[in-house]
Structure 1
Amino acid sequence: MADIIRGGQFLVKETKCEDIFTPEDFSEEQIMMRDSVKEFVDKELWPNKERFEKKDYALTEEVMKKAGDLGFLSISVPEAYGGMGMGFVNTMLVCDYISGATGSFSTAFGAHTGIGTMPITLYGTEEQKQKYVSKLATGEWFGAYCLTEPGAGSDANSGKTKAVLSEDGTHYKITGGKMWISNAGFCQVFIVFARIEDDKNITGFIVENDPSNGISLGDEEHKLGIRSSSTRQVFFNETKVSVENMLAGRGDGFKIAMNALNVGRIKLAAACLEAQRRTISGAVNYANERQQFKTPISSFGAIQAKLAEMATNAYVGESASYRAAHDIETRINIRTQEGNTHQEAELKGVEEFAIECSILKVAVSEDVQSCTDEGIQIFGGMGFSEDAPMESAWRDARIARIYEGTNEINRMLSVGMLVKKAMKGHVDLLGPAMAVAEELMGIPSFDTPDYSELFAEEKEMIAKLKKVFLMVAGSAVQKYGPQLEDHQQLLMAASDILIEIYMAESAILRTEKLAKKEGTDKVQEQIAMAQLYLYHAVDIINEKGKEGVVSFAEGDEQRMMLMGLKRFTKYTNMPNVIRLREKIAAKLISENQYCF
């Protein structure tokens, strides 16, 4: 068997392009599924955008039922419980393409299929799964997830909701309030987290939505975006829950919550992809049609630069998301073959790549915001109007940087998890970090490298950027040890370096694989996008590297590390960025849509 990469190992191992999965590798079945999802969106969601913006919650519930009828809610649910039992890539694919029209539906869909259904699928007893998952898989019932409280947001384990065991030991009485609960207005079942006595960790429960059992809802929240996503407070007043409805074991709630968020993060990245593609297509259409000074605005370099950057980020986000999704699926399959149950295999498979899930959540959620913002700018004054699609897309995109753990939390988590993996020996960071430290003491090579092969310089640059991370993070760990987590701004800088490495490498590997298959002459625009993204990544890593180094190093150590940083971020052949953008934009403009 080939050497299977572990989560986080991309940093210390060279990945071959043949070993990654790309959207060009979709099977016929996956292409058919993608097309059927796009047809659903074009028929049921896109024509109703205005109704979604006017808080038509009934419409959201109605189209969720239609999605259930078509099987879209059951992709990842095992066949034993009425699902399709498909692999992780298929789950990502549906989540991706179903999320392009409106954030309202996307949020309802994600909350139901992810955190509303998955905790029972992955942690429930056989009886719980038979009773609930089959109904959730078809859309007969909808699920919601009650974790956040007024005083417990990012610190999820600090919730005050209480669960008190009855005297006869048959049930718990749950009392407390939850907020920002997606799907609360039309769900039949809640996943509720509460604390039993003074337990260190919260416990999960499956609670049916029965108003006569001490459950009441606040009014619908008035939100900046995702306006037809039902978001309400949920109050429990001595709500009786059978002891059989405890999810996993007592005190396992925090573990359930964290693992549910890992899956939620990578799916959130997927849910931001089609939104970008459609925004770009809309912007290109408008730029081709809109005339100023007797010429289409798409012929202006300032507009072309925006279109090229928007397309580049979408292409890179797509590359990295499907790379990680397939790595997770591979890990799940290996564990299944080794005799793990579906639950164990999926949990451990996703947990293995939790670092990549956090990286993707941050990168793609920020790209979709940037994309919709530039979409408004290309539309000009019209973009600011509710009559154009850009305004609602921008508002809907804003929540993506907040839910599933804020981007700040995820930035710090990605580095923290990597350091913990290194401590456990799962990823060898120490050896490579020491090698980089030795290299800094040595004399750099002045040989002229051979860059005749496609991406030879770019791949060498990626290897050097990895050295930047190892230099900064390795020295920071040495200096601060366990106290590193107290230095949040340093962690944020290190995280940005990590994010840019993974995203840039994913795009280069995808494009190299595509070039080998199609020929370099047929993928010139993809090559340009991979090079353009890397150019920006180098700049960001240079800036964040300096920020990190000067925060903890002084004197000779600081000078040596800054010299190393300069060496590791230096191009031999600097790309002509303006020409790259012109090439990408020309393709978009001629095709009149996002076409990669």
Structure 2
Amino acid sequence: MNDKTRGGQFLVKETKCEDIFTPEDFNEEQLMMRDSVREFVDKEIWPNKDRFEKRDFALTVESMHKAAELGFLSITVPEAYGGMGMGFVNSVLVCDYISGATGSFSSAFGAHTGIGTLPITLYGTEEQKQKYVTKLASGEWFGAYCLTEPGAGSDANSGKTKAVLSEDGKYYSISGQKMWITNAGFCNVFIVFARIGDDKNITGFIVENDPNNGISMNEEEHKLGIRSSSTRQVFFADTKVPVENMLSERGNGFKIAMNALNVGRIKLAAACLDAQRRVITNSTKYANERIQFNTAISQFGAVRSKLAEMAASCYAGESATYRAAKDIEDRIISRETEGASHQEAELKGIEEYAIECSILKVAVSEDIQNCADEGIQIFGGMGFSEDTPMESAWRDARIARIYEGTNEINRMLSVGMLIKKAMKGHVDLLGPASKVQEELMGIPSFETPDYSELFAEEKEMIGKLKKAFLMVAGGAVQKYGPDLDAHQQLLMAASDILIEIYMAESTILRTEKLAKKDGEAKVQEQIAMAKLYLYKAVDIVTQKGKESVISFAEGDEQRMMLMGLRRFTKYTNMPNIVGLRETITTKLVTENQYCF
């Protein structure tokens, strides 16, 4: 396997801009797919936004059927089961653009195509796939996923739902309670996780939704957002499930659940992107139209600063999401070329980039929340009203930080998985961390570097931020060893450094690639966004680095590491942040929309 395709290696390897995929690299098929999804959303979803806000569950079902007719439910389902058999980037692209108008439809779509269908596609037998995936791909049936319980949320493997084998060995009787089940009110089939006997790990089952088979539900939940997404508690009382409906092997349920969540995490990041674009576009249009003191508020510096920051975070989210999506797709293709089945290749391809999936989930879900919050602020009092789309965008965005594992869990996972990869020899952290330690003990260079090339200083800064992470992570591992998991605040801070490195590097590389293709003069706004995002990232690394070092180091060691942190976060030529924001906002205001 080509070593450079390893997940997590962005931290210790220099990536060239030519080696990453960007939205500007979409091929003709992908551009057509993007445009058809946009057209569907603009025609069927956005005009009905008010109805989605009024708990119109029938509209959600109707819209899902329309999406199915256009083939959107079957993008990555293999052709053998009625799908389009498209690549991973295409599936991420559809998740991106189908999610812009309302979180209600986005949640229904994501739950069905992701955790409702994928477990059977990836782990099912041929018979199970022929029976269920064909119906799920066509929209004849809809799927749901039953993992969470009242006492089992983040600790998913602690569920109490039981599965008992019948005396004749023909079926299991499932009994238990599941909650927060998306699509429960209209689904035809559940992926249910239950424990057999005293097994250490849960087991997955495919359960048809039949109220005459011991399945009942509470009324729809009243939620802060995603109001027309069906969310119910589901109760199983001796629900009989044929033994042939066990998914994969006994005790393999936790693995199924975790791999389904890895896919869900990058797709959830994608599902926040078009929501951001629409918030920025609506905010820009309102700022151009709203006159105060005889001037459009888009001309006021306080508003212009917000618009620029919103655009930069969206641009960064696009850059990192599509970079990771193509890396996953390439990994899948590589494994298939080596002889793996499509199922195995997809599972291993996604698992390889679990760190990046967690990073994206955290970063982009928080960016859409901040973006929607600033959108409300730009709209002022009107932003607080249901008459404008801002307040529903803010409410819908809030669930993204909880879905697919909370952001706190994902922060700790990203660092934990990286350390485990290092221990397995998949990512060499020890060598680079040792070099950073040597550098801290040495005399810093006082030579004036050559920054004549575009992004020369920015790429050097990315390299220094990586050293900051290696310094913090290396010191923390030395101090706490296997007990590091117990120091959650330290892990969270280290994770924020890791997140900013991946997001900022992806943004710089995308823009460098674009500048080489189109010329620097034509991409001044993208250059400004990349530099602005990096500047903010350096601030975060500085803050989180201090917090980390002070938490585990003392005396001379602490002083040395804090000096190293200052060295690793110091610009030679500080960028003019106000000027960068002005460049970005001038373009936004002129185009009257997010136009990147």
Same fold, TM-score > 0.5, yes or no? yes
For Structure 1 versus Structure 2, the TM-score category normalised by the shorter chain is over 0.9
- Residues 108-507 of structure 1 mapped to structure 2, 5 A cutoff: 108-507=108-507
Residue identity opposite 1:516 in structure 2: K
Instruction: State the AA in 2 paired with 1:437.
Output: Q
Q: Could you tell me how far apart the structure 2 residues matched to 1:239 and 1:273 are?
A: 40
The 1:192–1:510 alpha-carbon spacing in structure 2 relative to 1, beyond 3 Å, is same
Q: Deviations over 1:37-78 (max 9, x none)?
A: 000000000000000000000000000011001000000100
Q: Which residue of 2 aligns with 1:571?
A: 571
List 4+ stretches of structure 1 deviating above 6 A.
none
| Deviation string, structure 1 residues 384-416 (Cα, Å, up to 9, x no partner) | 000000010000000000010000000000000
Structure-2 separation of matches of 1:464 and 1:140: 53
1:477 corresponds to which letter in structure 2? V
Residue type at the aligned position of 1:467: K
TM-fit CA distance, 1:3? 5.6
Distance 1:457 1:546 in 2: 23
Q: Aligned equivalents of 1:68 and 1:207: distance in 2?
A: 22
TM-score, with length taken from structure 2? 1.00
Partner Cα distance (2:437, 2:325) in 1? 33
Cα distance in 2 for residues equivalent to 1:464 and 1:403: 33
Distance 1:517 1:3 in 2: 28
Deviations for 1:281-317, whole angstroms, at most 9, x for unmatched residues?
0000000000000110000000000000000000000
Helix, strand or coil at the partner of 1:116: coil
Q: CA RMSD in A?
A: 0.6
Q: Distance in 2 between matches of 1:479 and 1:198?
A: 37
**Alpha-carbon distance between aligned partners in 2 of 1:510 and 1:147, rounded to the nearest angstrom:** 37
For 1:20, the equivalent position in structure 2 comes to: 20
Provide the secondary structure at the position in 1 that maps to 2:145. Answer: strand
Cα offset, 1:478, TM superposition: 1.1
Summarize deviations over 1:143-198 as a string: whole Å, max 9, x none.
00000000000000000000000000000000000000000000000000000000
Are 1:555 and 2:563 matched, yes or no?
Answer: no
Write the letter of the residue equivalent to 1:447.
E
Cα deviation for residue 479 of structure 1 reads 1.1
CA distance in 2 between counterparts of 1:309 and 1:2 reads 37
* SS of aligned partner of 1:397: helix
- Give the letter aligned to residue 316 of structure 1: A
1-side partners of 2:442 and 2:549: how far apart? 19
SS at match of 1:149: coil
Q: Does 1:83 align with 2:83?
A: yes
Distance 1:468 1:236 in 2: 51
Distance 1:525 1:102 in 2: 29
Structure 2: distance between partners of 1:458 and 1:4? 22
Cα distance between partner residues in 2 of 1:2 and 1:403 = 33
* Partners of 1:237 and 1:438 in 2: CA distance: 63
SS of the counterpart of 2:73?
coil
Rounded Cα–Cα distance in structure 2 between residues aligned with 1:585 and 1:519: 21
Rounded to whole Å, the distance in 2 between the matches of 1:342 and 1:5 is: 18
Question: What amino acid sits opposite 1:190 in the alignment?
Answer: F
Alpha-carbon offset, residue 4 of structure 1: 3.1
Residue type at the aligned position of 2:535: Y
Which residue of structure 2 lines up, in the alignment, with residue 36 of structure 1? Answer: 36
- CA–CA distance in 2 between the matches of 1:486 and 1:154? 16
Instruction: Show structure 2 runs of 5+ residues with no match.
Output: none
Letter in 2 for 1:12: V
Deviation (angstroms), 1:461 = 0.2
- Residue number in structure 2 paired with 1:49: 49
Q: d(CA) in 1 for partners of 2:191 and 2:470? A: 40
Q: Describe the SS at the equivalent of 1:585.
A: helix
Offset at residue 5 of structure 1 (A): 2.5
Aligned mates of 2:591, 2:3 — CA distance in 1 = 40
Change (3 A) 1:3 1:236: closer
Secondary structure of the 1:369 match is: helix
CA–CA distance in structure 1, aligned partners of residues 308 and 4 of structure 2: 35
- The number of equivalent residue pairs is 596
Please give the alpha-carbon distance, in whole angstroms, between the structure 2 residues aligned to 1:562 and 1:380. Answer: 42
Determine helix, strand or coil for the equivalent of 2:398: helix
- Separation (CA, whole Å) in 2 of partners of 1:559 and 1:299: 45
**CA shift at 1:2, angstroms?**
7.2
User: Which whole-Å CA distance do the structure 1 matches of 2:539 and 2:305 have between them?
Assistant: 18
